[in-house]
Chains A and B, each alone.
Chain A
Amino acid sequence: MTTVPFDPELLAGLAFFQREIEGTPLRTGNIHASRARFAALTAPIEAVVGDAPVAFEHVSVPGPAGAPDVALTVIRPAAGTSGAAGVYNIHGGGTVLGNRFFGVGELIDLVVRHGVVAVTVEYRLAPEDPYPAGVEDCYAGLVWMAGHAAELGIDPARIVVQGASAGGLLSAAVSLLARDRSGPAIAGQILVSPMLDDRNDAPSTHQFDDVGVWDRGANHAGWTAYLGDARGSADVPAYAAPARATDLSGLPPAFIELGACEALRDEDISYASRIWAAGGQAELHIWQGAFHGSNGIAPGAEVSRATDAARLSWMRRILAL
């Protein structure tokens, strides 16, 4: 299939991503090697915080029933807060890679620039811990955050969940769980290039098969690790793959953003369209010529700056920043 061309301003960033981050595209046989590589790229939080006027603290909170405790890191303005907006962050990495400090620089930026309190969650990875371990860990962390909002200086009515890629998948899934379990109120869900559909069969997945980053093959490897033999079958629950949900009503407002040059493009459009059809709120941005994660890799590009500005605008609207 003909692929959609990349923005020329992003080509250097694409090459960097392919060389330095993916190395070899993720496949079932190289998950552990990829994990080690990914870990080496994630700087310790002390180094990322540097002189920024924030305080951070690691806490261990109760995990899902019968499962280990969950590690969280709380990042707050050094000056303290009361009634601040809260951002619950779920890292990406295909459900198989990464830790809660991946992308923490952008989270620290939000704390410094907008006075939010951020909580980033460690969750168990596949294939060692397949579904539902990851999503239940994330949900447990959210329950703890909402329950301790006052002591964290957070307004419990102003908590958003956010994540990119697998973090977007888990953010969408946590939003479904919170709705169905009458759990914490979520003010919004920020889904950046979310993995939503284990079937991996939309036209965009075929356009970006061995092309770009987080291609169809990588997506296949991630879903297969997370769901095992159930992947692609009729038995995949919505909390495992949110595209499988038959009811998308009553969810928190969604912000869905991704590049036009992504395998995940069509499934993400479909998710937004189905939220609207149910009378729900969603905002959808598909950026021309952009690839999976390009705004983080090439933050100076015109399209990346526009991407960040649109996301921040939505956060201002939802969180009254």
Chain B
Amino acid sequence: MTPVPVPYDPELEEGLAFFLDLVERIPLREHTILENRAHFATIIQPIEEQVGDLPLDWENRVIPGPAGAPDVEITIIRPKGAVSGAGVLGIHGGGMVLGTRFFATGELIDLALRHGVVGVAVEYRLAPEHPGTAAAEDCYAGLVWFAGHAAELGVDPGRIIVSGASAGGGLSAAVALMARDRKGPKLAGQLLNCPMIDDRNDTVSSYQYDGIGAWDRNNNDTGWSALLGVTRFTDAVSAYSAPSRATDLSNLPPAYIEVGSAEVFRDEDVDYATRIWATGGQAELHVWSGAYHGFSGFSPDAVVSQAANAARDSWIRRTLGLR
């Protein structure tokens, strides 16, 4: 029996319909990944248009990739005026199979304007062409470069966080695990917005949103199967692909985890926070009532979205020492 889903906040219904029509016009299935990717590319504004006349500088660079892998493209976004010394590595979403780094630049532009943050958006290889940990390794290469070039960018290397939504949240969590395990750059925090972290897709919430809402159970299945192929569900799945698989969540940077109460990722994300706390780690968890996947971006004027944006900004200020 399909469990009864948590209803949506009525104020979010319109944005949800818009999301479904714009982003999920074509149900994401194994055979529609490429078609979805082409469609997704049409809804991402070019960086020139995103920046427009804003008082920002942006620059594309190519940096060394993971060992034995191609170079990685990044885009750096900085305020024209004073920088605050804080940095954000932005990792885009798209179910591990869609999108480009310019799907993550909106957040970086906002943070550069309001907080003088220097942002780096990282391009990573997509599944199914590049399965397993290819994406996470590319993102980690981006972090290593960012931390290594912090001084040149006007960033304090102790004030860099990693941030992403959906698959970008999963990859952000993976980068935080890698940085810990490899004794790499010391992250000041990990901002995980409705993160996609568990390939097993077997929680109550994953069944509540089966065929309904944004990024439903079936889309989630498609993304994970593309990323993990036949290894999905097995013990061979790396925590760097599916951070929920990590058995040790101690000694991670402070985590900010936010998710809607009306989405597939709710239970796995609550569980991740709970397990971080159980180890004595720092985390902040917000589960927004009646909210769908991506609500704060697609229904920005709703009261709940404004509250979500304000809470996130508060954590960023606390974590990065901003005013």
Chain A residues at the B interface, C-beta cutoff of 8 Å = 1-5, 7, 9, 203-204, 207, 249, 253, 255, 260, 265-266, 269, 272-273, 276-289, 302-303, 305-306, 309-310, 313-314, 316-317
Contacts and interface: CB of A to CB of B under 8 A. Distances in A.
A282 B289 contact: yes
Given A278-B4, A283-B289, A313-B303, A288 B261 contact: no
Contacts of A260: 277, 282-285
Contacts of B306: 313
B63 interface: no
A310 B307 contact: yes
B314 interface: yes
B315 interface: yes
Nearest to A309: B310
Contact of A317 (B5, B9, B280): B9
A317 B277 contact: no
A276 B283 contact: no
Given A2-B280, A278-B4, A317-B303, 9 more contacts: A5-B280, A7-B318, A207-B280, A253-B289, A277-B3, A281-B290, A285-B285, A316-B303, A317-B9
A255 B290 CA distance: 12
A214 B204 CA distance: 32
Q: Which 5 pairs of residues, A with B, have the shortest CB-CB distance?
A: A2-B280, A279-B4, A313-B307, A306-B314, A288-B284
Contacts of B6: 276, 279-282
B38 interface: no
Contacts of A207: 277-278, 280
A303 B314 contact: yes
Given A204-B277, A269-B270, A269-B274, A283 B314 contact: no
B282 A310 contact: no
Nearest to B250: A2
A288 B281 contact: no
Interface in B288-306: 288-290, 303-304, 306
Contacts of B7: 279, 281
B261 A310 contact: no
Interface string B243-283: 00000001000101000010000110010011001111111
A288 B3 CA distance: 31
Contact of A279 (B5, B281, B282): B5
Interface residues on B, range: 35 or more
Q: Which of A4, A9, A265: most chain B Cβ within 10 A?
A: A4
Nearest to A260: B277
B166 to A, nearest CB: 19
Given A207-B280, A273-B270, A317-B289, A279 B3 contact: yes
B202 to A, nearest CB: 14
A317 B315 CA distance: 22
A7 B317 CA distance: 13
A277 B285 CA distance: 18
B29 interface: no
A277 B261 CA distance: 10
A4 B317 contact: no
Contacts of B311: 285, 306, 309-310
Interface of B: 3-7, 9, 11, 204-205, 208, 250, 254, 256, 261, 266-267, 270, 273-274, 277-290, 303-304, 306-307, 310-311, 314-315, 317-318
Given A302-B314, A316-B303, A282 B261 contact: yes
B303 A284 contact: no
Nearest to B310: A309
9 contacts: A260-B284, A273-B204, A278-B4, A282-B6, A282-B289, A286-B285, A286-B286, A309-B311, A317-B304
Contacts of B290: 281
Given A203-B278, A302-B318, A305-B314, A284 B304 contact: no
Contact of B280 (A4, A282, A288, A313): A4
B283 A266 contact: no
Contacts of A281: 6-7, 261, 289-290
Nearest to B208: A279
Contacts of B5: 279
Contacts of A316: 303
Given A272-B287, A273-B270, A282-B289, A289 B282 contact: yes
Contacts of B281: 4
B65 to A, nearest CB: 34
A278 B3 CA distance: 7
A283 B270 CA distance: 12
A279 B262 CA distance: 9
Contacts of A302: 314, 317-318
Contacts of B11: 317
A290 to B, nearest CB: 9
Nearest to A203: B278
Given A269-B270, A313-B303, A284 B287 contact: yes
Contacts of A273: 204, 267, 270
Nearest to B313: A306
Contacts of B315: 288, 306
A80 B24 CA distance: 50
A283 B282 contact: no
A231 B18 CA distance: 51
A77 B289 CA distance: 29
Nearest to A285: B286
